[in-house]
Amino acid sequence: MKSKLKIPKDVYAILEKEIESKDLSDDKVCSDLFENAMDLIDRYEVATNANDIPSAFDLGKACTWLLMLMQIYEDKHWSVVIKLLSSSSGVSLFQIKPSVIEIRNEAEAALKAILEKLQQQQEENLDPPF
C-alpha cells in the first residue's frame, strides 16, 4: 500500500542523513540501533522530570530506527516520527507518549515474532527425520 503521507523537507533530510550514516547490511549495527532506540524510549517512558526526558529529535530518530529495522510502514507511526522531527511542530512530549510507546511495543512484538520463528525453524531442523 502506497502512503499518502507528506514528509516535510527538513524531516526528510534528517531521515536521509540518518540512513546514509549507518551500514544497515551489518547485523551488529542493526542490533545496536535497535537496542539503543529501545533504551531511549524506555528512558522516556519512565522519565520523572524534564531533565530526564530525551529530546523530540532523539525520540524521532529512535522511532525511525525501530520502524525501519522491523519494517513497519504504518502512516500513523510515521506521522509520529514527522511530528517529533519537525522543527515547526512544537510537539508535546507528554501528549505524544502513548504513540511513541505504541511504536516501541509494536517493534518489540515484531522482533519477538521473528525470534520465535527462527527458534521454531531451528527446532524443526534438529528433529530426526524418523
Cα–Cα dist 39/66, whole Å: 11
pLDDT of residue 116: 94
60 within domain boundaries = yes
pTM greater than the 0.75 cutoff: no
pLDDT per position as a tens digit, 116-127: 999 988 888 876
Query: Number of structural domains, the chain?
Result: 1
Percentage of the chain with pLDDT > 90? 66
Query: What are the tens digits of pLDDT across the range 77-120?
Result: 999 999 999 977 788 888 999 999 999 999 999 999 999 999 98
User: Is 1 within a domain?
Assistant: no
For cell 529530546, what's the residue? 55
pLDDT number for residue 6: 87
In a domain, 102, yes or no: yes
Q: Is residue 2 in a domain?
A: no
Q: Which of 4, 5, 108 is nearest to 62 (CA)?
A: 108
Q: Is the confidence at residue 48, as pLDDT, over 60?
A: no
Domain, as residue range, for 55: 9-126
In a domain, 115, yes or no: yes
Does residue 7 come out as left (phi exceeding 0), alpha (psi in the -120 to 50 range) or beta?
beta
Query: Regarding predicted confidence, which is higher, 51 or 58?
Result: 58
Residue 79: predicted pLDDT: 95
- Is residue 92 in a domain? yes
